[in-house]
């Protein structure tokens, strides 16, 4: 064997040794941390009113008049470069059309009625007023259908609004007949397909606004991370009489409910996610050290187009789509000043995500594809919730509180969940992890189909598909 061949062999053996040692080191599983029940309200802990109070979305005329004034006084937008579509961010030609619709056609009085069609409540937990929607299905005593408590958790830049399309599907189907329900956007009725007939279960839905988001109070203290929000939501469910419950989430909802499954496995009966990822050290090492060289050892043939080449796929996400994450993880208050002051700026910042996170190819469209999956009313409802509550800065702080050295020290991402889990993977999601990686974080993974349609905001984009996946999963683990 020549000197060169020996050198190559030695290099290969060194790389293999490094990979084996690194993976063994990363396989260490920390102990599950125990978090104290911190008082997140203003000042020192005080006696708390734990009653549950009805809540109504009712925005004052003063706030609406101020919004109209700001929209009317907004400076002319910077013209976009020729032919760039959405590749430099929100194209100002598209944004101007949205702002014109907001000023002239969007009717908050009607939208507020839509938001209030479901029962809203608030209650104080660990010093914070937490807002939530609570929808109980109407089931006859003769029915064999089980009513199960399901916690639905939204993310950023979403809100409880993103669940309005899926609420009737999860809370209303009955066995053996078509269920006609009011259409959100017209006087017509929507009829569920046969997939929803004969279901064994229906859900009692609890849909909270995350602390600092929308109608839930923000903390005045540092440290309210995703893990600690999970504690608040667990306490909310217990207060509503559900010691044991199911949980579902995407975006932050996925992270928060995943942490809940690690911290409170005796409370969670099942976990369903529509942003499924394993960011444990072991998963990252396997993805980069093995997946980069031998991706077929990590991903199946079906998963390969979403996973490999690893470097290219990662670059598409982290270099082109994650700039906001770095800003909000380090300087949320700085960018928050501008977004809190300008409704046009806020709309641009939020709605840009509804373009590329729904389908990254849509950045090459003049209209950003926004109305392919959403209506302008639907999109502006979500923007309005951030605007009328002045919650954009406080919502962004969740990134800074979660993605830092202190939280990483607990190692929650490296602790596998003990809860039965279902993952709905959508082809246009920001990132799709192979099942082999997901099974490290979720050893009790029951199902993880990949759907050809749908992206990051699945509950709004493809509500029937997501609902069916939730039903399929939970009926399997009953």
Active site positions, annotated: 251, 399, 456
Return the number of other C-beta atoms located less than 10 Å from residue 401's C-beta.
21
Helix (H, G, I), strand (E, B) or coil at 117: coil
Positive or negative torsion for Cα 259, 356, 377, 214: positive
Per-residue tokens: 121? 């409540």
Alpha-carbon distance of 277 to 442, in angstroms, equals 10
- The single residue listed with the structure tokens 């440290």 is 223
Decide: 66 and 74 in contact? Cβ < 8 Å: no
Alpha-carbon distance of 442 to 424, in angstroms, equals 13
Q: Report DSSP letters for 121-188, one per residue.
A: EEEEETTEEEEEEEE-----TT--PEEEEEEEE--SS--GGGGTTTHHHHH---TTS--EEE-TTSSS
Cα–Cα distances (Å) from 317 to 66, 262, 313, 427, in that order, read 37, 27, 7, 14
> What secondary structure letter does DSSP report for 274?
S
- The single residue listed with the structure tokens 């259409």 is 183
Cα–Cα distances (Å) from 143 to 138, 173, 192, 199, in that order, read 10, 12, 19, 11
Alpha-carbon distance of 46 to 289, in angstroms, equals 51
Buried b (16+ CB within 10 A) or exposed e, 405-416: eebeebbbbbbb
Positive or negative torsion for Cα 95, 379, 391, 424: negative
Decide: 417 and 443 in contact? Cβ < 8 Å: yes
Q: Does the N-terminal peptide bond of residue 309 adopt cis geometry, omega within 30 degrees of 0? A: yes
Alpha-carbon distance of 436 to 114, in angstroms, equals 42
Alpha-carbon distance of 432 to 415, in angstroms, equals 20
């Amino acid at each position: 064997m020549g000197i060169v061949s020996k050198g190559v062999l030695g290099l290969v053996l060194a790389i293999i040794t490094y990979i084996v040692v690194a993976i063994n080191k990363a396989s260490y599983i920390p102990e599950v941390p125990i978090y104290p029940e911190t008082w997140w309200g203003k000042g020192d802990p005080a006696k708390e009113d734990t009653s549950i109070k009805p809540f109504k979305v009712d925005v004052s005329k003063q706030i609406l008049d101020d919004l109209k004034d700001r929209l009317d006084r907004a400076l002319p937008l910077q013209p976009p470069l020729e032919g760039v579509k959405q590749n430099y961010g929100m194209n100002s030609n598209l944004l101007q059309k949205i702002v014109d619709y907001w000023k002239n056609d969007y009717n908050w009085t009607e939208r507020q009625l839509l938001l209030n069609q479901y029962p809203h409540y608030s209650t104080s937990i660990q010093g914070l007023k937490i807002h939530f929607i609570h929808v109980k299905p109407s089931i006859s005593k003769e029915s064999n259908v089980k009513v199960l408590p399901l916690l639905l958790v939204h993310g950023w830049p979403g809100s409880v609004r993103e669940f309005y399309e899926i609420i009737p599907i999860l809370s209303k189907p009955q066995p053996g007949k078509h269920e006609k329900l009011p259409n959100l956007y017209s006087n017509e009725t929507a009829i569920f397909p046969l997939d929803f007939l004969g279901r064994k279960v229906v859900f009692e839905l609890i849909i909270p606004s995350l602390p600092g988001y929308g109608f839930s109070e923000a903390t005045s203290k540092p440290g309210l991370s995703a893990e600690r929000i999970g504690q608040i939501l667990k306490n909310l469910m217990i207060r509503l009489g559900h010691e044991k419950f199911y949980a579902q989430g995407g975006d932050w909802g996925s992270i928060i409910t995943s942490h809940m499954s690690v911290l409170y496995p005796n409370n969670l009966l099942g976990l369903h996610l529509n942003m499924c990822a394993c960011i444990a050290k072991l998963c990252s090492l396997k993805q980069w050290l093995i997946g980069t060289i031998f991706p077929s050892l990590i991903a199946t043939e079906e998963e390969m187009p979403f996973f490999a080449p690893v470097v290219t796929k990662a670059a598409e996400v982290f270099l082109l789509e994650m700039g906001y994450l770095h800003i909000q993880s380090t300087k949320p208050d700085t960018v928050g000043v501008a977004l809190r002051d300008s409704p046009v700026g806020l709309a641009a910042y939020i709605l840009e995500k509804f373009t590329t996170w729904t389908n990254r190819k849509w950045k090459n469209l003049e209209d950003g594809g926004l109305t392919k999956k959403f209506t302008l009313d639907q999109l502006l409802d979500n923007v309005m919730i951030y605007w009328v509550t002045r919650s954009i800065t406080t919502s962004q702080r969740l990134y800074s509180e979660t993605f830092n050295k202190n939280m990483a020290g607990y190692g929650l991402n490296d602790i596998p969940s003990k809860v039965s889990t279902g993952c709905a993977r959508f082809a246009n999601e920001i990132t799709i992890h192979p099942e082999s990686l997901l099974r490290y974080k979720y050893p009790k993974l029951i199902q993880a189909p990949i759907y050809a349609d749908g992206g990051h905001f699945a509950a709004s984009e493809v509500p029937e598909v997501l609902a069916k996946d939730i039903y399929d999963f939970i009926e399997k683990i009953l």
